[in-house]
């Protein structure tokens, strides 16, 4: 398999490795207002 080919699951870019302070809407828990890492999000969607 080629490492730069498409991977199963959601698409992943290098920016995802550094932009932990800008979680995707689906990564935010509307009940707790935190992202997948448990960091607080100012404007959680939902």
Provide the mean pLDDT of the chain: 65
| Structure-block tokens of residue 35 | 């992202």
| Structure confidence at residue 31 (pLDDT) | 81
Q: What is the pLDDT of residue 40?
A: 79
Contact 6, 12 (CB under 8 A): no
Please report, for residues 5, 12, 13, 22, 23, the alpha-carbon distance to residue 18 in angstroms, rounded to integers and kept in the order given.
21, 12, 10, 9, 10
Burial class (CB in 10 A: 0-12, 13-18, 19+), 12: exposed
Task: Report the pLDDT averaged over residues 24-32.
Answer: 69
Residue 1 has pLDDT above 70, yes or no: no
- The better pLDDT of the pair 34, 19 is held by 34
Q: Say what the pLDDT of residue 32 is.
A: 80
pTM beyond 0.85: no
């Amino acid at each position: 398999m080629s490492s730069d080919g498409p991977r199963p699951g959601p698409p992943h870019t290098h920016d995802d490795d550094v932009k932990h302070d800008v979680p995707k809407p689906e990564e935010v828990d509307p009940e707790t207002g935190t992202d997948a890492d448990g960091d607080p999000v100012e404007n959680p969607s939902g």
